Amino acid sequence: MSALEVRGVNKRFGGLQALNDVNLTVDEGRIHAIIGPNGAGKSTLLNCFVGRLTPDSGTVMFHGKSLLGIQPHQINQAGVSRVFQTPEIFSDLTVLENVMIPALAHRDGIFEFNAFKPLRRETEIRQRAIDVLEDLGMEDKTDMIAASMSRGDKRRLEMAMGLVQEPKLLLLDEPTAGMSRADTNNTIDVLRHIGDSRGLTMIIIEHDMHVVFSLADRISVLAQGTVIVEDAPEHIKGNVKVQEAYLGGAH
């Protein structure tokens, strides 16, 4: 059963055809990677999923309902959460406070959310945030000020901020960018655990092929705004088109 169905999506910026008749199917409960060289259209495609951009044509269906023409907060309420390439955290707040805020915003809705509401009174939200942090192995960092964390921990914190909204689909844009190999391997373990324990559908944009082939159940390869192949990881590795467009030749 598919969670996300993308059909015939096109997006042009002036004379640049950023997306060209993109078709994509993401199965429910699976990790789907989108790879390709810089400028291939990966982030543009993700922006079409979350309402930051509207395709010129085509359809984006999430569990049978269109994501086009509705606001980003409505897409979030429908169960789609995004983790950005650059961590978007509240640097002066604690880790726990950082995770509680998006949980409150998701519960109350964008127009009802009050950022100045005393967080200590929100016992249910607090416990949900603690549970998510435990799931990510961050239970010992709840009182740490976010600005003092390592880059790897900041990335995990933003994952927690996405997960606490209880999404059905989690979009991860370069989740291991700038990480050490140790942090990268830890993130792979964390994402695999999340996928297994929550049955969560994930889409990952990632340049690190070690991450992609360690996690993905299926891979779509974008080149010049077009999906040139969509297949299982073991078939992607040996695909000549992929080697020419992205991997730089046979390995």
Tokens of 250: 């046979």
Round to whole Å and give the CA distance between 161 and 144.
Answer: 15
Tokens of 109: 């809705």
Round to whole Å and give the CA distance between 204 and 219.
Answer: 9
Q: List domains and CATH numbers for the chain.
A: 1-79+170-175+205-251 (3.40.50.300)
144 in Cβ contact with 133 (< 8 Å): no
Q: What percent of the chain has pLDDT over 70?
A: 91
The tokens 């239970």 sit on which residue?
A: 139
Rg (CA), the chain: 18
Q: Over range 144-165, report the average pLDDT.
A: 90
37 in Cβ contact with 245 (< 8 Å): yes
pLDDT the model gives residue 118: 64
Q: Does 245 score more than 80 pLDDT?
A: no
Better-scored residue on pLDDT, 110 or 38: 38
Q: Over range 236-250, report the average pLDDT.
A: 69
pLDDT the model gives residue 203: 97
93: closest CA among 153, 157, 164, 143?
Answer: 143
| pLDDT confidence bin for 249, thresholds 50/70/90 | very low
Q: Which residue intervals of the chain are DSSP H helices?
A: 42-49, 72-77, 95-108, 123-135, 151-163, 181-198, 209-215, 233-236, 240-242
Cβ contacts of residue 204 below 8 Å, gap of 6+? 31, 32, 33, 34, 172, 175, 191, 211, 212, 215, 216
137 in Cβ contact with 130 (< 8 Å): no
pLDDT tens per residue, range 168-178: 999 999 988 88
108 in Cβ contact with 127 (< 8 Å): no
- Give the other-Cβ count within 10 Å of 232's Cβ: 11
pLDDT tens per residue, range 67-117: 998 998 899 889 999 987 666 788 999 999 999 988 888 777 654 555 556
3-class state of residue 13 by DSSP: strand
Q: Using alpha carbons only, what angle is made at residue 56 by residues 241 and 247, rounded to the nearest 5 degrees?
A: 20
Round to whole Å and give the CA distance between 217 and 189.
Answer: 15
Which residues are registered as beta bridge partners of 4? 26, 62
What are the DSSP calls for 23-50, one per residue?
A: EEEEETT-EEEEE-STTSSHHHHHHHHT
- Give the other-Cβ count within 10 Å of 100's Cβ: 23
